């Protein structure tokens, strides 16, 4: 299959490209690394305007299938119970930040192309992508994700880890999230392409998570065991808009795609990320 991957030089995109090539697909990568995403206009250009440009180009070229990388941020702050069934695709979408808002706008735009132009589409709502694959790891600047920040402390690159809130309504007071290995995300993309190509799905939206949640404190303890290093923490106030629990129900993805996140044990995720960070202590830069 001939596949164009936009954002193929990024963290998730690069792993998707590697797995596509390894599966024998002919892949073209288009990636734009540029200005900061700190202002709303940038999000709208990247996630709405650029998605529209892709859809119009697809329509003109007669390319009618798209797998869209979306996010759990479209759900905003859903009220979930610890140990509950998790977020289903029908959970109300009430984004609380511009990133989630623009991804939801892009999802809806793609949906209208499915209705009016006959596009075959699947939107994949990622939960917390983590881990490393075959020399490809997570290197954001500044780094805002938990596991890389934990591992930077383990490497001695930071004195401690900031924990935002120790009084959440969770068993240990720290927020709970659903972590999915980046390799499993890549496999889900390939499965999505296959079902679209087979015509078994015409338009759908799927959560990509494991259905299991881990708290910040559990991540820190697991990382301590995996790395063998102490990871001091400092608890500060809660962040605005930070829900206590954000865990997926992945039942639909398992059913529609036949997908099973086999690499997503929390030990495997942290272990693969740790190996990558040890090999790349300065990320992809040699002079960081």
Q: Is residue 34 situated within a structural domain?
A: yes
Tell whether the model's pLDDT for residue 52 goes beyond 80: yes
Catalytically annotated residue among 43, 99, 133, 164? 99
pLDDT at 286: 53
Residue 285 lies in a domain: no
204 lies in some domain: yes
Q: Each residue of 57-116: pLDDT tens digit?
A: 999 999 999 999 999 999 998 887 676 779 999 999 999 889 899 999 999 999 999 999
Crossing angle for the helix pair 146-154 and 216-227, nearest 10 degrees? 40
Q: Is residue 175 part of a domain?
A: yes
Q: What is the mean pLDDT of the chain?
A: 91
Please report the pLDDT score of residue 287 as a whole number. 39
Residue 241 lies in a domain: yes
- Pair 119, 66: CB distance under 8 Å: yes
State how far the Cα of 240 lies from the Cα of 237, in Å rounded to an integer.
9
Is residue 132 assigned to a domain?
A: yes
pLDDT digits (tens, 9 = 90+) for 161-186: 999 999 999 999 999 999 999 999 99
Any domain includes 288: no
Q: Above pLDDT 90, what percent of the chain? A: 70
Number of separate domains in the chain:
1
Residue 99 annotated among the catalytic residues of the structure: yes
CA distance 186 to 126: 11
Side by side, which strands form the sheet with 203-208?
65-71, 120-126, 203-208
Q: Do the domain assignments include residue 130?
A: yes
Is residue 288 classed exposed, middle or buried when 0-12, 13-18 and 19+ CB atoms within 10 A define those classes? exposed
Mean pLDDT, to the nearest integer, of 248-269? 95
The pLDDT value given to residue 69: 96
Check if the beta carbon of residue 158 is closer than 8 Å to that of residue 236: no
| pLDDT number for residue 288 | 41
pTM of the model: 0.89
CATH code, domain carrying 136: 3.40.50.720
Domain ranges, residue 175: 2-279
At residue 31, does pLDDT exceed 70?
Answer: no
Residue-wise pLDDT for 244-258, tens only, equals: 999 999 999 999 999
State the pLDDT at residue 81: 67
Edge-first strand order for the sheet with 214-215 is 214-215, 176-177, 245-246
């Amino acid at each position: 299959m001939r596949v164009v991957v936009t954002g193929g030089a990024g963290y998730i995109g690069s792993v998707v490209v590697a797995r596509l090539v390894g599966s024998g697909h002919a892949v073209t990568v288009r990636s734009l690394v540029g200005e900061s995403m700190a202002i709303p206009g940038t999000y709208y250009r990247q996630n709405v305007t650029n998605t529209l440009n892709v859809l119009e180009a697809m329509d003109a070229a007669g390319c009618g299938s798209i797998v869209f990388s979306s996010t759990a941020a479209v759900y905003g702050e859903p009220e979930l119970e610890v140990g509950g069934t998790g977020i289903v695709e029908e959970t109300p979408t009430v984004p609380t930040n511009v990133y989630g808002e623009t991804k939801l706008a892009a999802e809806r735009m793609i949906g209208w192309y499915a209705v009016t132009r006959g596009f075959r589409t699947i939107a994949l709502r990622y939960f917390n992508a983590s881990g490393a694959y075959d020399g490809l790891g997570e290197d954001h600047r500044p780094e805002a994700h938990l596991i890389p920040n934990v591992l930077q402390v383990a490497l001695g690159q930071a004195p401690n880890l900031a924990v935002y809130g120790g009084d959440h309504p969770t068993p240990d007071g720290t927020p709970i999230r659903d972590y999915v290995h980046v390799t499993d995300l890549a496999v889900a993309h390939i499965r999505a392409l296959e079902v679209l190509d087979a015509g078994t799905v015409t338009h759908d939206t799927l959560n990509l998570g494991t259905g299991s949640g881990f708290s910040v404190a559990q991540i820190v303890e697991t990382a301590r065991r995996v790395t063998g290093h102490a990871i001091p923490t400092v608890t500060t106030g809660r962040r605005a808009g930070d829900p206590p629990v954000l865990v997926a129900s992945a039942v639909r993805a398992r059913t529609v795609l036949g997908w099973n996140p086999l690499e997503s044990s929390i030990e495997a995720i942290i272990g693969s990320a740790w190996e990558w960070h040890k090999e790349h202590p300065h990320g992809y830069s040699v002079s960081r």
